[in-house]
Amino acid sequence: MSKEIKTDLTIEQKVEALLAQMTLEEKIGQMTQVRHFDDISISDIRDKFIGSIIHTQGPTPGNNAFEWQAKFVQLQWLALSTRLAIPMFFGVDAVHGQNTYAGATIFPHNIGMGATRNAKLVENAAAITAIEARATGFNWIFSPCIAIPYNEKWGRVYEAFSESTEITTELAKASVRGHQGELGKQISLIATAKHFIGDGSTDFGVEGGNTTLSEEEVFKRLLPPYRAAVEAGVGSVMASFNSLNEVPMHAHRKMITDVLKGQLKFDGIVVSDWKAYSRFGENEVINAGVDVVMAVEGDFNMYVEGVRNGVLSGVIPQERIDDAVRRILKQKFRIGLFDNPFPDLTLINKIGIQEHRDVARQAVRESIVLLKNQNNTLPLKKNAKIVVVGEFGNNSGLQSGGWTINWQGMTENYAGATTILEGIKKLAKHEVVYDADGSANVSDVDVAVIVVGETPYAELFGDIGGIINKYQLTLTPEHQLLVDKYTAKGIRTVVVLVSGRPLVVTKQIEQADAFVAAWFIGSEGAGIAEVLFGDYDFIGKLPHSWPKSEEDYQGKYGPNFWDDTIEPLFPLGFGLSYNK
């Protein structure tokens, strides 16, 4: 930082002193976020005064956490070599743990955390995520997603806590508090409430589609979690890909500037989503109130030149640029980045430690929901002869969903994780048979645990009926056949559904003796085994209304608790336990 700025000033005074020294090019640099490995050269960090870097899908910074930190140290030194020595943010989509790093603790996705109804657990999980993110070199997390989904066809349902405004509001506040710490205390990184606003309530569940809720409904149903996040001190809010009544949210000045920054008094950073500058009207994005733009995949030079020309021509007011840079600098001072710009090496030995995994396993136990338990099929007896059926039963990638190591998730095992089969084998007192694809000739067993579900996906790739058109509201024919085969054998069956949303499985629920909604559980598959054997009770409650048929989705939305025109198979909040 410039030697001319005194260290005994308030954050606001430091910001103003620094802002007064900055050129237009330095200000635009602070408003720029890039993906280093693909978008820019090393020299651009210094020459274009880059303010932040995002790490996402693509080459990793190194082979281990030491190398990750070393890479970010190298890049930070470039930022510090500039005239004003303003340090950079390093951001990551750590949406259910530090999920870009193999070996980190991976929690259930937010839909599972919503099923726990446990705000303290959500806070603890977020705090662990913050530690492991910092341990790998990051100081800005793009989480929590506080969308409110109204249609299970949306490919991001699992990123959100619940269809309930009240549940989402409570857990949004807990998540921000966990990531950043208690309001008013020194924090080490900033969290991001996303995606502002209406992303989960688009018509027909289309990712990036149009949300036609009235303004009154938006304020009543969708805004409260953002108000709670702002009150908890969230450092940033990410704009959404969707439109609100045909106006792209990235260009929605009323909602971003008048409502979020004005009415809610949000004083943090509004950050764009991926490649928003070229996608949503270029300078309209800046004028709407977006402070930091992800200038990625070819947008970088166009963005830097476009904003510069916009200011020089008067299209973008200088006051709008200064407002953006004030917000950015404030958050950098807030997390002590000027005094401590480098990662903390002492945190590396905390990545994936047992204490963290114990909390993740607790989250699994509390998140899974018992939908059926006929004739006390559950809990399983530890001396029973058990067959575990289906590849999802022995694959940590499949059980974890999208945003796990890779953007679209994994279809194979990854470091540090425990599968459901491994968890069952650890607790069972009899040899456990494994039938990966249903082809084994298994008959001499007491119970079959059939694990079925959705192959991992993220964003529009998971939209049902979307441009990818890979996913469906029902089980795949192969998974339906697994259930058919084992129920036809006359063996007691427990179906465990691993998914990012409620699916239409009415037939399979009828066929099975017991049925468990497990969501995408993350790295700790043993948590499921602990509940199936009765070491712990089922306490999870549905965070969404559960559909009974595909016909439930002929309109804009599926069944949900505030629209009583569609009767669900199970209502919001349903969940059985061993004690009743």
State which amino acid sits at residue 203.
Answer: D
The CA distance from 183 to 126, in Å, is 15
Phi/psi at 436 (5° precision) = -65, -35
144: cis peptide before it, omega within 30°?
yes
End-to-end Cα distance, the chain: 62
The CA distance from 151 to 169, in Å, is 19
User: How big is the CA angle at 573 (ends 568 and 575), to the nearest 5 degrees?
Assistant: 95
Residue in 26, 459, 524, 530 annotated catalytic: 459
Give the length of the chain: 580
Starting at the edge strand found earlier in the chain, the sheet holding 247-248 runs 210-211, 243-244, 247-248
Active site residue 299: no
DSSP 373: E
CA 400 to chain centre: 12
User: How big is the CA angle at 267 (ends 299 and 222), to the nearest 5 degrees?
Assistant: 80
The CA distance from 216 to 172, in Å, is 21
List the alpha helices (DSSP H) in 289-414. 300-312, 318-334, 354-367, 396-400
Active site residue 459: yes
Tell me if 147 sits within 8 A of 195, measured CB to CB: yes
Structure tokens at 272: 């764009």
DSSP 263: I
Residue in 39, 159, 170, 273 annotated catalytic: 273
- Dihedral sign computed on CA atoms, order 231, 237, 242, 245: positive
User: What positions carry a catalytic annotation?
Assistant: 273, 459
